[in-house]
Structure 1
Amino acid sequence: MSLNTSKPMLQLKLTALLSTDLLVNIGNLFAGSRDQVRLVEDISRCLQGTCSEVLEFKILNPEARLELQVLMERLRQIGQTARDKGVRILVDAEHTYENLGLSLLTLAMMAAYNSTTSIVWNTYQCYLKKTMDNVKNEMSIARRLNVYFGIKLVRGAYVSQERDEAKRIGLPDPVCENYKTTNDNYNRVLSFLLDTASRPGAKINIMVATHNEESTKLAVTRIREYKLDRLQDTVVTFGHLLGMCDHISVILAQAGYQVYKALPYGPVEMVMPYLARRAAENKTGLMGARREQQLLWEELKRRLWRQCSCCACFPY
């Protein structure tokens, strides 16, 4: 297999590879572990073919342990193939009750495959109040393991589901109060990541996955301020959905930045809810579409003006 592109990326939904119950259980083990770094190391050794007994997994029933064994083989094949082919794997985030388990597995994959560059990346949702704490904790684990930390930063979805679930089980609302606080949280985490990336010896790669112009401008300003665009290895990339935010994608690409256009694919009944959530998570999406229409119309008028100086040619 050959990919005719530079540094291709693939989004991966780990929830397609194991049951929700198992994911929640290993997330609880991760949260309750006295030594999270050791736990991540134990799982990473399994992914590299030198699996020792993971003490925390002994409390799981035989069926769950068998499912984990199958999962380890699947993740090993994905990680080794991605490394061999130079494909970067972006692990999708899910609901809060699943994310701890996803982080444990993703960090273990980082430990196994991110020794020289970011092959495996995790996704962090800034509509959640604890995003900064989670980013700092998991970045610290990657640093202690001496591996690259790949991070895709998004605003996130599942707002109503998260609030309903928290209310049902009697927990505080995990979601930012409104869209403005979500934006503020996103920009705060983004600024922290870019500041971290500017420090000598930092092993971090960042995808700014947003259709928001304010956040994009902030990223570009910080990149230039910290001179991250002058580094040989691309530290910061941008991510947009295919067919959306093209007016920003084109400008970024023309300025020399790497821009990825995500292409969701699959059965209609699965893809459409995904796209609906993406639209709901970013209220600037429709404004961006109108902005693109306005820019296209202005460009059309500009080109027509070059061909004809008659004002009657422009049907305002």
Structure 2
Amino acid sequence: METPPNKSLNFDDTEIAFRNKSNGELNAAYWLFKIISSNFLTKIGPPITNFFLNIGLPIKGIIKATIFEHFCGGETIAECEHTIQQLASGHVGTILDYSVEGEDEEAVFDFTCEEIIRTIERASGDQRIPITVFKVTGIGRFGLLEKLDTKTALNTAELAEFEKVKHRCEKICRTAFDKNVPIMIDAEESWIQDTIDELAFDMMRLFNQKNIIVYNTYQLYRHDKLADLKADHLIARAQGFILGVKMVRGAYMEKERKRAEELGYPSPIQPDKAAADRDYNESLNYCIAHIDDIALVCGTHNEESCRILAQLLDTHRLKHDHPHVYFAQLLGMSDNLSFNLSDAGYNVTKYVPYGPIKAVMPYLFRRAQENTSIAGATSRELGLIIKEKQRRRLI
């Protein structure tokens, strides 16, 4: 039976996009994006801020009240409650994302593992938190994953170290299975990704037999990932488990191209944006065509891709809130997509990063730089905020 179309999508509807923001929050967002739009400040901000933090100047309060408050939920899970409820008021779910980076000690990996488990336990039974997430580099050493990707033999200590990584990974995913809380494994740099993919596939074999629990991430700015997705689906179907697909364009393009050039191997990155867009949208087509045995999280800030996925659901006569289809964006970005999609009846979630301010700063700097490097991203956000300020007669 054909599903009747829900409310039509209008990504320019700022009343819906910013319904959950007070006038003060809207004004704060306006000034933040005005600052971010300055390439100069975005470039000099990270080293200056790190310097001030390292010498102990009291700037944490300023950071927490500005960029941290806009892009993060808090320093702890408990501090994220306001954001969880604010998103839920617009029918948008929360993905709690413990965003501490760059650590390299076993004790920290153990702590991170337990913190990820706490996010799963917090999500259990709370429909406002439909999905959770973790990075393998949060629970294992980057250099070890890099060595595994080269297929170099590990020594005895490294073998023991990797057993701990696998144990942490399985402990997290088993908790997700026991609590019936889906969890996504994020993609990372291409030179550690094969090992991450193998871990994710092992977890899907274990826990995706009946329901979707584990998602792996496919970065479609890589030219090989559309083919990988199709091959993985055939394996999953043959072995009788649901393939969990979190689909993104990618986050490491400049680093990937630079490393490939320096080391003299072919870049894994698509030749241009058009190729990445083509593969991304073709992947959407493929996943929806096989929606019974693929579960999809469409992670994108691209308006066209959101429209294509929404249209695919109608074309295939699928409910807008099909349990195998989620849209996802980052907190503080593209509210016009998130809240207009949720208002039209689609499943939508936001990544809500949290953690100690100093430890989360690398994430925040990437968000600021991402907004200036993506053509038109900051001006688009600013334009929508200004439109809503005008609608509210604030300017």
Structures share a fold, TM > 0.5?
A: yes
Q: Is the 8 A contact 2:287 2:295 kept in 1?
A: no
Answer 1 or 2: higher relative contact order, Cα 8 Å, separation at least 6. 2
Aligned to 2:273: 179
Give the deviation of 1:21 after TM superposition.
Answer: 3.2
Which letter maps to 2:160? L
For 1:2 and 1:160, the matched residues in 2 are separated by 36
Aligned to 1:203: 293
Look up the SS of the partner of 2:353 in the other structure.
coil
Give the deviation of 1:255 after TM superposition.
Answer: 1.3
1:251-270 Cα distance to aligned partner (Å, 9 max, x none): 11111111001112232433
Work out which of the residue numbers 173, 184, 201 in structure 2 matches 1:107: 201
For 1:164 and 1:230, the matched residues in 2 are separated by 41
Q: Is the 8 A contact 1:238 1:258 kept in 2?
A: yes
Look up the SS of the partner of 2:188 in the other structure.
coil
Which letter maps to 1:217? R
Give the deviation of 1:28 after TM superposition.
Answer: 4.4
Give the deviation of 1:172 after TM superposition.
Answer: 1.3
Which letter maps to 2:133? Q
Aligned to 2:170: 76
Q: Is the 8 A contact 2:134 2:185 kept in 1?
A: yes
Q: Does 1:258 align with 2:347?
A: yes
1:1-316 matches, cutoff 5 A: 1-3=121-123, 4-6=126-128, 8-29=130-151, 59-197=153-291, 202-229=292-319, 234-266=323-355, 267-276=359-368, 278-279=370-371, 282-297=374-389, 299-300=391-392
Which letter maps to 2:212? S
Note the residue ranges of structure 2 that are not aligned, 5 or more in a row: 1-120
Which letter maps to 1:285? A
Q: Is the 8 A contact 1:129 1:175 kept in 2?
A: yes
Look up the SS of the partner of 1:229 in the other structure.
coil
For 2:289 and 2:180, the matched residues in 1 are separated by 27
Give the deviation of 1:188 after TM superposition.
Answer: 2.0
Give the deviation of 1:19 after TM superposition.
Answer: 2.0
Which letter maps to 2:361? E
For 2:202 and 2:371, the matched residues in 1 are separated by 32
Structure 1 stretches of 4+ moved >4 Å: none
Give the deviation of 1:247 after TM superposition.
Answer: 1.4
For 2:320 and 2:348, the matched residues in 1 are separated by 17
1:93-140 Cα distance to aligned partner (Å, 9 max, x none): 111111111100000011111111111101111111111112122222
Which letter maps to 1:257? Y
Q: TM-score, normalised to structure 1's length?
A: 0.78
For 1:264 and 1:7, the matched residues in 2 are separated by 13
CA 1:183–1:123 in structure 2 vs 1: closer, same or farther (change >3 Å)?
Answer: same
Give the deviation of 1:92 after TM superposition.
Answer: 0.9
Give the deviation of 1:280 after TM superposition.
Answer: 6.3
Number of residue pairs matched? 270
CA RMSD of aligned residues (A): 2.4
1:3-48 Cα distance to aligned partner (Å, 9 max, x none): 432562122010121222332343345xxxxxxxxxxxxxxxxxxx
Q: TM-score, normalised to structure 2's length?
A: 0.63
1:41-60 Cα distance to aligned partner (Å, 9 max, x none): xxxxxxxxxxxxxxxx9x43
CA 1:168–1:230 in structure 2 vs 1: closer, same or farther (change >3 Å)?
Answer: closer
Note the residue ranges of structure 1 that are not aligned, 5 or more in a row: 30-56, 302-313
Which letter maps to 1:189? S
Q: Is the 8 A contact 2:320 2:347 kept in 1?
A: no
Which letter maps to 1:114? N
For 1:280 and 1:27, the matched residues in 2 are separated by 33
CA 1:88–1:24 in structure 2 vs 1: closer, same or farther (change >3 Å)?
Answer: same
Aligned to 2:7: none
Which letter maps to 2:175? T
